[in-house]
Structure 1
Amino acid sequence: MTPLTIKDIAQLAGVGVSTVSRALNNYPDVNEETKQKILAIVEKYNYSPNQNAKILKQNATNNVSIVVKGSANPFFEVIIERMQQDLEKHGYNALVNYIDERSDEISEASKLNVEKKLEGIIFLGGTAGRFEKELTKFRIPCVVSTVYVPLPPDCNKACVCVDDRAAAAMAMDYLVENGHRHIAIIGGERGNRDGIDLRFEGAMESLRKHGIEFDERFYAESKFSLSDAYSAMSRLLFPGTPITAVLAMSDIMAIGAAKAITDSGLKIPDDISIIGYDGIDMAYFYNPTLATIKQPANELARISVDILIRLINGEKIESNQIQLETEMIKGCSVKRI
């Protein structure tokens, strides 16, 4: 009888090759039931890992790619660092790959999958519409972090995010409750069915609730960068502008916008109030301290990695769509008028 390979063991157990490898090497992240199932097969067929070391090495790379959409967003830095730590702690090689905000993340990840023989992919940021259409083309487990994606149940794909619509509504409520009616919004490109659209919808829901009509002239599109947000805010500061407050869809946008406001001779919050989104450290140390919606960066990272590892190990997860809570940080950048 031809000796079994690690691939044969994986097929008999109904799991991936990397899961067999990790079970045989007694990694703690393999489900006990799965581990015992693999060991029972190994014993039944008298499988010897040492005889198959070469095959094991060829098949189990332990490579996981973190595909990051955009390279100028400090909010992602905390998440990436935690993801790398958690993946490496479990024996995976965390390969961080940055792509431009306008790039196709699915196409880029497909190339990486072929080149690096990935065990799994974490997408950090990206376009929900594209994920919804094309994510299932990957046979390997994938987790989309910080973006909501409608996913079929019982697949090896998941998303971990916050409720962007509710969080943006909370930010807009705060501005309106402080007396503001002429409010501008600085955000990304709309129409991609992603977090930007959800945040815009949430802001609009808040305005409608308060009987305020939004003037589309006061939406300024920006990349997630200081310089682009500076330019976007500058376009809103036309002579006689009635704007008294700005909702920025990221803290980095808010800080770039704030610089444009002060450079024009206006003061924050005396002349124009501003609120951001993300809760990065820089928002706390900005002067005045920035009002913002804080996302749980460490939890987003931890849960994304935990779910990916469980999917790689062939384990079932209770839900493949996880939404975490946000927190309002009032800061000192919003004035009551």
Structure 2
Amino acid sequence: MEKISEVNIKDIARFAGVGVSTVSRVINNHPDVNKETKERVMAVIEKHHYVPNNSARNLKRNQSNTIGVLIKGITNPFFSRMIKVIEKEITRRKYSMILHQVESDADEIDSAIELSMEKKLKGIIFLGGCFNHSQQKLAAIKIPFVLTTITSLDDSVDKTVFSSISIDDFAEAYKAVDYICKAGHREIAIISAAPDDQSIGWLRLEGYKKALEDNGIPVEAQKIVSTGEFSLQCGYDSINKLLSQTRFTCVFCISDMLAMGAAKALLDSGKKIPDDVSVVGFDGLEMARFYSPSITTIYQPDEAMALDSVKTLMDVLENEGVHRHVKFDATLIEGESFRPLNGERSDNALLP
């Protein structure tokens, strides 16, 4: 794909060999532009991914009332309920929704630009993915967008050009591991994301490391296993690797899917949960409550986050609201997969 560049209406006119007024008439679908000229201008617009900054007004005739939901990690059950809530709320507000899967090795921004041009989207909600994109890259999206469950990790990015709805992944991972430490565990392993992860996996790993440090526990490389996907199989395989290289009394998994896969591997190896090894997950999946043993986990308020994502986007679209960044609190929920070694239970935990 051609490198994204910033162009304005004068550039489009120059590239197409026409006047600015002609470009304006093409954008607004005026009938007094001949077919050949219109096609030439539209080809230049598409080539340079140009959408006017005031697109919500000037492209009204060309745009549909459609919101794009771009999801990276569509097999992750954590997103299933969020998608249902988002679609219901979008429909209630008299819009339609397009769900678009972004492959794990694809660029979210490129996918968003292509989809917004093809479907004339009004706005975009991103679910999941890696968001360490530059200011120039984000600015290439000319319609309002919301990052949901994620936010930009680049402090130099202008946060006024987009919204984000998430939890504080670093702080919530810290909360989980600090809870494990305070319960008497000293040998704590983690199943984390790939080493090159630049999103929530990295934040949760950093929260784990900081909690160990603050509790006077050294971070040991052999107790950290990285995996490419948040899947049951990856959790299963990761535990077998941990069992072969280190000793641990608790494993913290950065997703419930990893935790359930890890628990299965521990049971298959002859370990008892939580008598021999405790397991703590992250996300608060419904299926984790019904797993045996039920998983102690960090619960994300998925429904509230989904609703707020739509509300935030609509405020920008319909009420000329400003972009905002909201962090929800998550909740530690104790299940049957965790055993304190000091005989105490945390007063901060919400018992199921």
SS at match of 1:227: helix
Paired position in structure 1 for 2:202 = 197
Structure 2 unaligned residues grouped into runs of 5+: 1-24, 30-53, 342-352
SS at match of 1:59: coil
Q: Structure 1: which amino acid aligns with 2:340? A: R
Alpha-carbon distance between aligned partners in 2 of 1:231 and 1:216, rounded to the nearest angstrom: 17
Alpha-carbon distance between aligned partners in 2 of 1:72 and 1:275, rounded to the nearest angstrom: 21
Paired position in structure 1 for 2:99 = 96
Q: Structure 1: which amino acid aligns with 2:130? A: T
Alpha-carbon distance between aligned partners in 1 of 2:249 and 2:122, rounded to the nearest angstrom: 50
Alpha-carbon distance between aligned partners in 1 of 2:261 and 2:74, rounded to the nearest angstrom: 16
Indicate which of 225, 247, 253 corresponds to 2:258.
253
Q: Does 1:140 align with 2:106?
A: no
Q: Provide the aligned C-alpha RMSD in A.
A: 2.3
Alpha-carbon distance between aligned partners in 2 of 1:68 and 1:132, rounded to the nearest angstrom: 21
Paired position in structure 2 for 1:21 = none
Alpha-carbon distance between aligned partners in 2 of 1:207 and 1:231, rounded to the nearest angstrom: 24
Paired position in structure 2 for 1:42 = none
Q: Structure 2: which amino acid aligns with 1:228? A: C
Higher mean C-alpha deviation, range 142-151 or range 297-306: 142-151
Q: Does 1:184 align with 2:189?
A: yes
Paired position in structure 2 for 1:332 = 336
Q: Structure 2: which amino acid aligns with 1:198? A: L
SS at match of 1:129: coil
TM-score scaled by structure 2? Answer: 0.77
Question: Alpha-carbon deviation of 1:102?
Answer: 3.0
Q: What do the CA deviations read for 1:191-246 (whole angstroms, capped 9, x no partner)?
A: 4431111111111111011110111122112211111221122211117x311111
Equivalences, count? 289
Please identify runs of 4+ aligned residues in structure 1 that moved more than 4 A.
Answer: none
Indicate which of 305, 312, 317 corresponds to 2:317.
312
Q: Structure 2: which amino acid aligns with 1:158? A: S
SS at match of 1:323: strand
Q: Does 1:17 align with 2:52?
A: no
Q: Does 1:229 align with 2:235?
A: yes
Question: Alpha-carbon deviation of 1:153?
Answer: 4.6
**Does the CA contact (< 8 Å) of 1:15 and 1:313 recur in 2?**
no
Q: What do the CA deviations read for 1:5-34 (whole angstroms, capped 9, x no partner)?
A: x969xxxxx78239xxxxxxxxxxxxxxxx
**Does the CA contact (< 8 Å) of 1:187 and 1:221 recur in 2?**
yes
**Does the CA contact (< 8 Å) of 2:267 and 2:273 recur in 1?**
yes
Question: Alpha-carbon deviation of 1:131?
Answer: 6.5
Alpha-carbon distance between aligned partners in 1 of 2:196 and 2:136, rounded to the nearest angstrom: 15
Paired position in structure 2 for 1:37 = none
**Does the CA contact (< 8 Å) of 2:113 and 2:140 recur in 1?**
no
Q: Structure 2: which amino acid aligns with 1:233? A: I
Paired position in structure 2 for 1:323 = 327
Q: Which has the higher contact order (CA 8 A, sep 6+)?
A: 1
Structure 1 pair 66/209, CA: closer, same or farther in 2 (3 Å)?
same
Paired position in structure 1 for 2:169 = 164
Q: Structure 1: which amino acid aligns with 2:338? A: V
Paired position in structure 1 for 2:12 = none
Q: Structure 2: which amino acid aligns with 1:248? A: C
Q: Structure 1: which amino acid aligns with 2:244? A: F
Alpha-carbon distance between aligned partners in 2 of 1:291 and 1:315, rounded to the nearest angstrom: 42
TM-score scaled by structure 1? Answer: 0.80
Alpha-carbon distance between aligned partners in 1 of 2:170 and 2:124, rounded to the nearest angstrom: 26
